[in-house]
Structure 1
Amino acid sequence: MSITADPTPDTSNGDHSVPADRPAIQIGGEAETIRVLTAALGQGALPDVYVCGGQLVHLSRVSGKAAGAAEHAHQAASGALPVQADPLTASSLAWLLAHHAYVYRDKFNKQTDQWEQVEASPTKAALSAVLSTRYWPDVRPLTGVVTSPVLRPDGTLLQTAGYDTPTGLYYAPNTAMPHIPAQPSTQEVTDAREFVLGTLLRDFPFVAPADKANHIGLLVAPILRPYLGCLTPFGLISATTQSSGKTLLAEIPGYLYGRKHLVWRKGDDSELEKSITSALHSTAPVMLWDNLAEGTEVNSAVLAKLLTGPQWDARMLGSNGAGFEAANDRLWLATGNNIRLGGDMATRTALVRLDPNDPHPDQRDQTGFGIPHLDDWLKKPANRVTVLRHLLILVMDWINAGAPRSGHTMRQFTSWADAAGGFLAHHSIDGFLDNLEEMREADDENTEWTAFLAQWHELHGDQRLRSKVLCHSAEPQLIGDQLVDRWEGTFLTDDRDRILSPKSIGKLLTGHVGRWHGRHVLRSTLDKHANSLVFWVETSPEQAQPDHDHTSAADDQTALM
């Protein structure tokens, strides 16, 4: 059995004409059919078949209710990807073989007493067996689908449509992009910078330069990702009020690269995991949780783990079955008014704040805007090309300058922070990540612990206490004829606002030993005589800050602008 480019079927008993551009694949028994089909796939017998994570996928287009130009226009306006990578199944593999190959077997014709070549379809069992292996060394690897030019690891720009061997990316532009010069002129760079800062982002009410710089750093992240090979932090766009422009600001990268909207369900990590898993079946480079409920606290162990892991595993919460794995190569964004952060999210987030300082921001006259009605303007493919072209020119100018770095560090996102900071500094865009203090203030957990440890040190100094004694000190004391809370509301409580038990507080304290909150740090050691842990609080003069009035500790938990 073999694979040939020009089969010669016997036509004596009928018309067995074969398109000249189809490879011929001769099959036989079940075992041999499995071997032949495996070899055919490895030799590229079928178009647009790649391997991704050990699984064969096929790049295909999806039809909808619209057709022709109308469908293309809708796709382009939504930022949808023109192709998607679908895992091959037995059925889809049979379809591809029927349309792109001539699969045949030898059959003996008793009437003519001769062997004939007859077109055939492999059995479902054989097709499933072929797809069961995860080792495809001769099949081209697919690392992703992009709709815009991106930077290769060597600093060159991928801008030719189709499969790119150095990166394993498939470039499928929604609309034609002009060629980006490898060495932009000084005038092109000046024009690009003026467009991005003076036109595209001019009318957004950023609170500080850091907010604009952070957004631009996130905006170019999909372009830089293949070059850097790194994770990007959670992008949070938080505003003081409605109609501030937060959704539009998040939609800019969504329109440029393709985005998918996700639903945020507060406090439900199980549903969040399902939402993320479903989203990662899409090839959209930008994932957006838009308009979270006002005052939402973003505090999720699932989201925190997603952001700092290069690979997403749907079984992370203990689900059974084969599960789902995908590379975490997306830009994750969220918008909302006065959004809070909890847990470890503050160290995983790039903050962008908006404050229109206007009682009716929705009624602002846009006639003087850099781009009036930017939302409608971005829906036109030619306008998105304009934005992309200017961003790419700025990126290539940075590359030609040696891609200088800034020295910024940020948890698992240091590669992005260092490069994005260098890119922004190269173009004289100041303030990148300068709002880290605001991030700490937005961290509800850190704010709570800062007030708790400060009051602990105020009441007990460096005295070593067992958790039982500490809890006893939190009980209101009768002074004169009044009950007084010496902790002034800063002692840790449960979800029902009740003082924690000695056992619960002991476990909680153990988890924070050695962690700084403000200028205080919790210490612990084993009291051998009592055979129990004792805790105390130390203060660092180097980190000393003005003392706060603890009666207004709640005021420190101000909402994000």
Structure 2
Amino acid sequence: MDRDTTPLTDNKAGGREVYNSGRYLTITGHRLPGSPDTINEANKTGFDRFYANLKAAKKKVSRPLNKKAKVAQSELSKLKKVTPESGLSDIQIQQMAGEKHGEKYVFARYSNLEESDKKKSETDLSFCCLLSPWCDSPTHLARMLKDYRKRPKTQEREDYLLRTAEKAFNERRYYYDPILKKLQPISSLITANDRLKISDTSGGRSQIQVNDNSLDDLTDATFRAILKRYENNPEFFVRHGKLVRVNQDEKGHSFIEEITEDSMRWISCRAADFIKVTPGGEICKVHPPTLMVKSLLALGGWDGIPHLTGLIQSPIIHLDGHITMVRGYDEVSEFYYDPGPALELPDIPEAPTKEEIQEAVSFLCEPFIDFPFYDDETSKGAELNCSSFCNVIACLLSVTCRNLINGPVPMLFVSKPTMGTGSSKIAEIISQISTGAPLNVFQQQKNDEEWRKSITTKISSGPPFVVIDNAEGKVHSQYLSALLTLSVWRDRILGQSKDAAFPHNSVWMVNGNNIRLGGDLPRRCYPCRLDAQEAQPWERDNFKHKDVIKWTVDNRGGLLASILTIVRGWIHAGCPGWNRPEGVKPLGGFEAWSNVVGGILSYAGFTGFLKNQQVMYQQIDSDSLQWDGFFEVWYEKFGEKSITVNELVKQLISEEEEYTAQRVFDGSNTTGIESYLLDTLPEMVTGIPLQKQAFKVKLGSALARCNGRVFPSGYMLTQDGEKKRAKKWKVVLKIRKEAQNEERRERGESRTCGIVEKTEAFQGIESQIKREEGSNETTIFS
């Protein structure tokens, strides 16, 4: 084996081959006996003689080119200097052909190149047919055949190249659409012909002739004109199968709305001029045809229009540390960024130092410094170890960094003992920082049907942050519970007989005075407690920021810069995970949120994230507490005996009658009465007289929902066979918690109580007594 460095002008002829580039030599490692095991420098005389014989074999009399071949040669030379209209390079064309045809393309590209190979011309034609959809002309295809199928005939016969390329080009069934960036049937190719007139005007818009043309042609031409008009600055999007756009109200705040027939007509007018040619040849401008506009909305799919995940109104930071600060559509996250009016953002350090992180944390705490966050006496105020404060910062991070959280986000639950403590102001601060807009308020609804309708209306506009402000009593909705874990909300459109789907990326918050959570909401929320420990907290005046909302608005840019500095530092550090304190677990169903937000907070030094979660489960989950007390009395009365719902109702009615006979009124209290099931009946099954069949149905359904569930005191309801086709139920003590019960008795706590529905006889006695006392108040059994 010899090697040499002589420059080469010819490579192959007369059965000899020599290369200095573009080829690889594969060595198996298994040498023939007696063969050398070294690579030597070539003998100069020997190599010169070898190469001279190769060049001699290469020389032959050149045949003159005919006229057609000369034209082809001229076109080929020109095409090498022209960029194809598709915008694809030769490498991109080969990659696309390889992805589509696989081994078939590899065979056509590399096979049958030797002079001894048969079917060389057939392989050339096959190669051209595979590439033809992505090429703009036969000459373009011929050049690629010459460059990538190198053999004597393709290098010397320009007429052969053009003839082969023309045949493949004319037989193609698809072409590459540079706007849609995909292959389209050749039958859909729109050109300037007798059927449809399209031309560019000076304003960059297309001109489309509408008369004497099919609806399909008009729709396709208009759609292509729209894509061309908005290619570099998309203003409308596909959002879960619907065409939408980002609109603004009179104050410059953005929202998402579905594109209607009227808005599509306006979009079409901006993209193209529609004309009509009269029989006399006169050109008249006309409005977009109504049927064509409806056809555009009915297209479905809308290839080429970007997908919209949601609306975000704070700068978008990506996991590579890049920050999108220009208003418009972000292709990476698929969010539309609208910073709101007049946002001035300071410079964000590329790799924040420890001192810069600490400075950012300190400034981020400023707007919350005057609020009375309270976990207990050792954990309160705007301190990094206070769980209530850390959870508020977690809510703020959830809104501003929503694109980093690949999953649902739980609802922040803010509770306080009295009005004027500041929960609404906290919500307003979060809204002003994250969206630059006032609070987006959602009213508490009276029943599930109203919850469903209101949620659909609110979610349709894609708000980043929603607050259920000043809720009262018990917050309980199966639809709100479901929404918090869904990425897509589906519901019937009000007033129409069709369903709609809306992506859900909103972050939710609820606040109120000593409100409770029912159903599945407790495990889908994280708590914050405010307690000023004053009778009239609204009269406080010892604030560092007298008008904290105005201060927040004036410093929004700096607050957002602090958040972005912390998050960029976390990303630069490798996105470390959440450093969970002992006993604290990620929120079930929200693991992605717990890990991202918990990781950022841990990196910034916040140590109280979710530490108060178990306290919320024990104190705020009203349904669990009420059923726990009810099953405790059940166990005291029946032990592990199995009873039917009918037998349970008879016991309740018996207690009610005994209760009526023994009740001694002393203001609003009762004395001398032992524990009754009636006392602890959960309020979700009250509201119907005990004697009604509807009460039995309601109670039976409620018991079925509690089947197999272990409650805090260790009691569990379980089904135990049937009696005359009626289910039998029993309560068992699954887990004994003697220490917990003893501690509860020492604190003087009583069982959970509900509102009891009284019989007509008892109501008559009660009314008579109240009339004598001049009282109109409702009696609550406690």
Give me the TM-score of the superposition, normalised by structure 1. Answer: 0.83
Determine which of 173, 193, 202 is the counterpart of 2:369. Answer: 202
Letter in 1 for 2:318: R
- State whether residues 42 and 136 of structure 1, in contact with CA within 8 Å, keep that contact through their aligned partners in structure 2: no
Counterpart of 1:444 in structure 2 is 622
Contact 1:277 1:324 in 2 (8 A): no
Q: Conserved in 1, the CA contact under 8 Å of 2:681 and 2:753?
A: no
Residue of structure 2 in register with 1:279 after alignment = 458
**Distance change >3 Å, CA 44–CA 514, structure 1 → 2:** farther
1:206 and 1:519 map into 2 onto residues whose CA distance is 29
* Structure 1 range deviating more: 209-218 or 167-176: 167-176
| Aligned counterparts of 2:716 and 2:752: Cα–Cα separation in 1 | 21
The 3-state SS of whatever aligns with 1:517 is coil
Matched, 1:427 2:595: no
SS of the aligned residue for 1:379 comes to helix
Match of 1:505 among 695, 699, 711: 699
Compared CA separation, residues 200 and 25, structure 1 to 2 (3 A): same
**What secondary structure, in the 3-state scheme, does the structure 2 residue paired with 1:462 have?**
coil
C-alpha displacement of 1:252: 1.6
SS at match of 2:454: helix
d(CA) in 1 for partners of 2:723, 2:248:
73
Does residue 150 in structure 1 map to residue 316 in structure 2?
A: yes
Match of 1:533 in 2: 727
Paired position in structure 1 for 2:413:
236
Offset, 1:176: 3.3
Taking the TM superposition and a 5 Å limit, the aligned residue runs for 1:62-461 are 62=249, 64=250, 75=252, 80-81=253-254, 84-109=255-280, 115=281, 117-152=283-318, 156-174=322-340, 175-197=343-365, 199-208=366-375, 209-258=386-435, 261-293=440-472, 296-315=473-492, 320-366=496-542, 368-369=543-544, 371-380=545-554, 383-406=555-578, 408-440=585-617, 441-461=619-639
**Shift of residue 138 of structure 1?**
1.2
* Residues 339-368 of structure 1 deviation map (CA, whole Å, 9 limit, x = unaligned): 1111111111121111111223222224x5
Tell me the equivalent position of 1:546: 741
Look up the equivalent residue of 1:232 and give its one-letter code.
V
Distance 1:551 1:470, change over 3 A: farther
Pair 1:171–1:61, CA change in 2 (3 A): same
Find the residue that maps to 2:590 and give its secondary structure: helix
Higher relative contact order (CA 8 A, sep 6+): 1
Shift in alpha-carbon separation, 1:268–1:496, aligned structure 2, 3 A: closer
Mapped contact 1:43–1:139 kept (Cα < 8 A): no
Listed one character per residue, the Cα deviations across residues 7-46 of structure 1 (whole Å, up to 9, x for unaligned) are xx99xxxxx9953433434444242212212333344557
* Structure 2 CA distance for partners of 1:100 and 1:355, relative to 1, 3 Å: same
Deviation, 1:59, is 3.6
Relative distance call for 1:137 and 1:466 in structure 2 (3 A) is same
Compared with structure 1, are the counterparts of its residues 251 and 61 closer, same or farther at alpha carbon in structure 2 (3 Å cutoff)? closer
Greater CA drift, 218-227 or 545-554: 545-554
Q: Indicate the larger mover: 266-275 or 217-226.
A: 266-275
* One-letter amino acid of the counterpart of residue 390, structure 1: S
Q: Which moved more, 1:385-394 or 1:278-287?
A: 278-287
3-state DSSP class of the match of 1:314?
A: strand
Whether the 8 Å contact between 2:310 and 2:503 is mirrored in structure 1 is no
Cα distance change of structure 1 residues 376 and 120 upon mapping to structure 2, 3 Å threshold:
same
* Corresponding residue to 1:490 among 645, 660, 680: 680
Contact persistence 1:52–1:142 (CA under 8 A): yes
* Partner residue of 1:21 out of 201, 204, 209: 204
Q: Which moved more, 1:495-504 or 1:153-162?
A: 495-504
Report if the CA contact (8 A) 2:327-2:337 is conserved: yes
Return the alpha-carbon distance in structure 2 between the equivalents of residues 215 and 541 of structure 1: 35
Distance 1:530 1:91 in 2: 64
Question: How has the CA–CA distance of structure 1 residues 299 and 163 changed in structure 2, closer, same or farther, with 3 Å as cutoff?
Answer: same
**Share of identical aligned residues, percent?**
24
Residue 478 of structure 1 and its aligned partner are, at CA, apart by 6.8
Q: Whole-Å Cα distance in 1 between the matches of residues 260 and 651 of structure 2?
A: 65
- For residues 179-238 of structure 1, the C-alpha deviation after alignment (integer angstroms, 9 at most, x for no partner) is 4334222221010111223x2222110012111111111110023321122211122222
User: Where does the alignment leave 5 or more consecutive residues of structure 2 unmatched?
Assistant: 1-188, 376-385, 664-672, 756-782
The number of residues matched between the two structures is: 518
Distance 1:495 1:300 in 2: 17
Q: For the Cα contact (< 8 Å) 1:50–1:141, is it kept in 2? A: yes
**Equivalent residue number for residue 38 of structure 1:** 223
Q: Evaluate the alpha carbon distance shift between residue 556 and residue 185 of structure 1 in structure 2; reply closer, same or farther with a 3 A threshold.
A: farther
Shift of residue 122 of structure 1? 2.2
Contact 2:462 2:506 in 1 (8 A): no
Q: Is the 8 A contact 1:292 1:337 kept in 2?
A: yes
Give, in angstroms, the shift of residue 454 of structure 1.
Answer: 1.7
By how many angstroms is 1:116 displaced?
A: 5.1
Q: 1:499 to 1:439 in 2, by over 3 A?
A: farther
CA contact (8 A) 2:516 2:620 kept: yes
Q: Is the 8 A contact 2:444 2:468 kept in 1?
A: no
Residues in 2 aligned to 1:171 and 1:478: alpha-carbon distance in whole angstroms: 66
Structure 1: stretches of 5+ with no match in the other structure: 11-15, 65-70, 110-114
Name the CA shift for 1:162/1:270 in 2 (closer, same or farther; >3 Å). same
Three-state SS of the structure 2 residue aligned to 1:214 is: helix
Classify 1:395/1:556 alpha carbon distance in 2 versus 1 (closer, same or farther; 3 Å): farther
CA distance in 2, matches of 1:128, 1:147: 32
The amino acid across from 1:21 in the alignment is G
After superposing the two structures, state which structure 1 stretch, 523-532 or 422-431, moved more: 523-532
User: Which sits farther off after the overlay, 20-29 or 209-218?
Assistant: 20-29
Q: Distance in 1 between matches of 2:203 and 2:275?
A: 15
Letter in 1 for 2:466: M
Distance 1:497 1:357, change over 3 A: farther
Any conservation in 1 of the 2:442–2:466 contact (CA below 8 Å)? no
Cα displacement (A) at 1:320 = 5.0
| Separation in 1, partners of 2:642, 2:648 | 10
> AA paired with 2:204?
D
Aligned amino acid, residue 267 of structure 2:
L
Q: Give the 5 Å matches for 1:456-467.
A: 456-467=634-645
> With structure 2 as the length reference, what TM-score do the two structures score?
0.61
- 2:239 corresponds to which of 49, 52, 59: 52
Distance 1:151 1:523 in 2: 49
